[in-house]
Amino acid sequence: MREFDELVEIVKRLRHPEKGCPWDNTQTHESLVPNFIEELYECVEAIEKNDMPHLAEELGDLMLHIVLQARIAEEEGHFEIAEVLASITDKITRRHPHIFGNVKMDTAAAVKLNWEQIKLKEKKSRISAIDGIPRGMPKLIVAQRMQEKAAAVGFDWDNHEQVFEKLDEEVIELKEAISLGVHQNIEDEIGDVLFTVVNLSRKLGFDSENSLTKTISKFERRFKQVEERFKQKQKSMQDSSLEELDEVWDAVKDTE
């Protein structure tokens, strides 16, 4: 596209050693990482808010970072943006044999599983089937990706009912750890419960990070309404009983 080529040329000009921008010229792969991550999360926030004009803007900011990273790599003699595009085009074609080949797959779950299996075969340098997950990501995403990768080699529950049984087991173990009062054991069991809940979410076809994000937004919205109602009553939440707080909370829920 003409617009993409124009962006590539703009970035080249920004990085010109004599006539370029002083700020852009001092940037490295590493120095851009914080801004890169920030732009990604701004895209995510726009998606969560269903703010399409804002998403269009933030995708542009993210695209700028991609082109800038590629330009720096080109200057250092590593690769060019054309190689980046060719690489992803080849990968997408290779990992969609049901579209570009003769393999038949009718469900999103089958496509996802096949993708992971192809990826496992391609990444020969990886020792474990669950290698290759960036640990800097939110831990719910790490947990879900790890479970997906394990499922690609057959390490998975047959159905969500089995995960429910495991969740019941983990909750019992957590209660036992709490009764014994051993701090480390309690922390371990809380982690097991959370990991199992992520597994349940995955088996039911939901993304645990998205589910939690929606619940956080819901809690924030309702809590602020509760605060407003207590302000209107000129009453302190801290001085109110749990029953009073619950009553107002339920009233707010009923309005949604």
First to last CA, the chain: 45
Give the pLDDT score at 133: 92
Task: Assess whether pLDDT exceeds 90 at residue 112.
Answer: no
pLDDT recorded at residue 157: 94
Q: Can you tell me the mean pLDDT for 134-146? A: 92
Confidence of residue 143 (pLDDT cuts 50, 70, 90): very high
Mean pLDDT of the chain: 94
Whether the predicted pLDDT of 77 surpasses 90: yes
pLDDT per residue as tens digits for the range 174-204: 999 999 999 999 999 999 999 999 999 999 9
Its pTM stands at: 0.73
Which contacts of 223-228 are long-range, i.e. CB under 8 A and separated by 24 or more positions?
225/252, 225/255, 226/252
Amino acid at the residue 105? M
